[in-house]
A and B are shown apart, each in its own frame.
Chain A
């Protein structure tokens, strides 16, 4: 796959320069604001010169000594972990059952999980505030409304990747085989299907975690200061201390980097374990 015939290689050497340039410019543009933010976070003074006048880690020291930040970080972790755990716990059986036993619902489900794309945070917030600001369910301003709505936000991604991994493990045949061998449906699902789906589901969970961790609109509109998460903390700090804010952003991105590294290593293990069969031909989300 990687060996390109020598002749075409030579013919394309002009193209090589061009494509390298395009990749460099576009990825460079994408990375530029992050790199600048990083540089800002370790600078002492930086408002007259092109490069910072000096370097320091003070911003990080201050940040991790700030109880308010640490609490916000803890809250973000709590929201993201709970949301992803609940989402996977509910969605994996749901997708499995609908695909195998209630196929009539499948088409409807596929449409419904796309609805969140037509209802971005600011639209969802309108209805949610109306319902959950007053009794009987006044959960506005608590972690529960965030978990509730983030479940919806990550629904398209969780559904799609769960459905894809279900397809790639040939669930129908595996179930049949397990049942022929005398396993009950539940046992067959837990012992045979679930372990095979796990890597794909784990990837969905990690990506969803990064989405929830980075969400600002709903956190700000529905909960704000009464359950301050990292993004809201960042927004409120931004006007005051630029160095501190940039340290928050770099910390957030370090986390994203770790999540993506995990995703990549799971992906590598998956493609390593499987034979080069049809595994790469899954429908793109």
Chain B
């Protein structure tokens, strides 16, 4: 019996081997190699902090980091505001309508990267549908240039909305169902409800979702890459061009920038974890 049990246990543990091998080969090993390479000289030798020093002081890279952070903060802010309004409005409809709205929103989260860039060119490009429409209507000031920061910010805000709705919907649904009716039975006005209960209870979820959206935009590469003819100076774009765009790949510099990006993303996601824990405790 004991023999059978232990051999069964061996078989059980053997079944875990493929997963760990895969994880090691395609996640942990690349991460380790990237980390090692970020401390090497150009050419891959020796040990240096020079790549990080350059990454954090050279104007080209500090601008890239700043641009990425600003764009991500802005798009996450617009994204969270619109998501909260939309998701809350969803909760006021019947179960069937709600499910349909959520499905549409979730489905549109697949409209990202290259297709998204193309879709916005059709709308806001030089001869875009809305560009022509606004000009005809005598509102040329509405027809802005897609290939500027303003255009990029709009596109980034767009792809944040489905993700934001997906993440914030459950907490809004919970609040709507139970708390609001209780509050109105006790005679609280809508404003009082949101001020005293709604916003404080939702805050961890909102902050958490905000940090996920921030991370989502920080790591985004495809949309900006596909949209822009004249290069935007964004952190992921810099990394990408060093690895695959240039004649001589600059692996070490790319690695240190990638580690910097990784650290920023980890902080943002860590904040989300904290907030999730806080929200669970609160409810």
User: Footprint of B on A, CB under 8 Å?
Assistant: 1-2, 12, 15-16, 18-20, 22-23, 26-27, 29-34, 36-37, 39-40, 46-50, 90-91, 93-94, 97-98, 101-102, 112, 114-131, 148-149, 151-152, 155, 185, 210-211, 214-217, 220-221, 224, 231, 234-235, 238, 242, 245-246, 249, 252-253, 256-257, 260, 264, 284
Contacts and interface: CB of A to CB of B under 8 A. Distances in A.
Contacts of A155: 27
Shortest 5 CB-CB contacts between residues of A and residues of B: A127-B30, A33-B119, A120-B219, A19-B89, A47-B127
Contact of B107 (A116, A252, A257): A257
Interface string B93-127: 11110010101111110111111111110110001
Interface stretch (B11-19, B47-55, B191-199): B11-19
Contact of B265 (A120, A152, A238): A120
B236 A26 contact: no
B30 A124 contact: yes
A269 B94 CA distance: 19
Contacts of B94: 2
Contacts of B92: 12, 15-16, 19
Contacts of B170: 284
Nearest to B177: A1
Contacts, number: 237
Contact of B34 (A117, A130, A149): A130
B123 A185 contact: no
Contacts of A114: 269
Contacts of B23: 112, 152
A165 B215 CA distance: 28
B175 interface: no
Contacts of B96: 2
A48 B132 contact: yes
Interface in B18-71: 18-19, 22-23, 25-27, 29-34, 37
Q: Is the interface of B mostly helix, strand, loop or mixed?
A: helix
A127 B120 contact: no
Given A152-B27, A246-B122, A30 B19 contact: no
Given A117-B215, A118-B265, A119-B31, A185 B37 contact: no
Interface string B226-258: 100000000010011001100001010011001
B30 A27 contact: no
A235 B89 contact: no
B258 to A, nearest CB: 5
Contacts of B215: 117-118
Contact of B243 (A22, A125, A149, A151): A125
B101 A23 contact: yes
A117 B22 CA distance: 17
A90 B21 CA distance: 11
B207 interface: no
Contacts of A129: 243-244, 249, 251
B213 interface: no
Contact of B219 (A30, A101, A112, A123): A123
A217 to B, nearest CB: 5
B222 interface: yes
Contacts of B148: none
10 contacts: A20-B89, A23-B101, A30-B104, A101-B9, A102-B13, A126-B251, A131-B30, A216-B113, A246-B122, A256-B110
